Amino acid sequence: MLTRIITAVVACAVLLPVLIFADTVALPIALALCAVIAVYEMLSCLGLKQAYAINLPLYLLALGAPFLIRYADDPAKIRQIALAAALAAVLYLLSVLTFSHGKYKPADVGICFMLIFYILAGFNAIMILHDYEMGGKYVYLLCFIGAWVTDTFAYFCGMLLGRGGKHKLIPDVSPKKTWEGSIGGTVFCILGMLLFGLIVSKINDAVQVNYLMLAVGGLLVSVVSQIGDLCMSVIKRAYGIKDYGKLFPGHGGMLDRFDSVLAVAVVLAVFCSFFDFFEVI
């Protein structure tokens, strides 16, 4: 427990300057580094970290995408380039599969594309939320607040209310998670997002907060956060590993720490294309 707390404090100390200077090149640099590390961890999990024909283009894409989003002058152009990049990646991976003479299995290449696409979509959704959504400099923080509040309070509510583990959530995937923890994490996520909205309204009079949407978003974010966590646990179990890495002592790797954040970021990017949490007047 002490190791986890120390690691969390150090990680927050590193993350805080990035968030403070998110309007500068600091944010795309941080997201690019996180994406590259996460891609490496997933390729290692899949047994493809030495499949250079597959992974080198993926590293380049992970490095370049946040900068493309930050310095693109039109959101529509980003969507066009993202679609083109996804189609090009599919064609490229199929070509590698075709000319590898059986070196790689179709199933491995297919799941590689699916998971790497998911990882890159998650990290880049954070950039999109910050730069292109109404009140983006507040909205993108909800990716972290929603995921980590859910995770933290699900843990403590599970410890306090789910003792004995009688009401397990999905024991085949994560034996320690309980319904008590899941519900507790959801309740506190909603409260946390509402509190964040209240704080934003107090520090910036030019921002109007839609508390109803924050409550709805809090429910959605918490559910998606827990699903994201469980989905990445399924992959770990399927490939027989405990953690994706050792970058964060007591927590695991980049994907172990950001599994929920990635899912939340993708869903928030879609949600915010229809509804606004904040309106700048």
pLDDT 10s digits, 246-255: 888 878 899 9
Q: Please tell me the chain's helix, strand, coil percentages from 3-state DSSP, rounded to the nearest 5.
A: 75, 5, 20
CB of 198 closer than 8 Å to CB of 215:
no
pLDDT tops 70 at residue 1 = no
- Region of 105 please: left (phi>0), alpha (psi -120 to 50) or beta: beta
| Digit-coded pLDDT (tens) for 175-201 | 888 899 999 999 999 999 999 999 999
**Average pLDDT value over all residues in the chain:** 91
d(CA 138, CA 115): 28
* Amino acid making up residue 171: P
pLDDT for 73 equals 74
Q: What is the dihedral of CA 184, 185, 189, 191, to 10 degrees?
A: 20
Choose between 227 and 166: higher pLDDT: 227
Q: Are 127 and 22 in contact (CB under 8 A)?
A: no
Q: What is the pLDDT of residues 45-88, one digit of tens each?
A: 999 999 999 999 999 999 999 999 998 877 778 888 888 988 99
Total count of residues recorded for the chain: 281
pLDDT at 8: 76
Indicate the pLDDT class of residue 162, thresholds 50, 70 and 90: low
Q: Residue 171's pLDDT is what?
A: 84
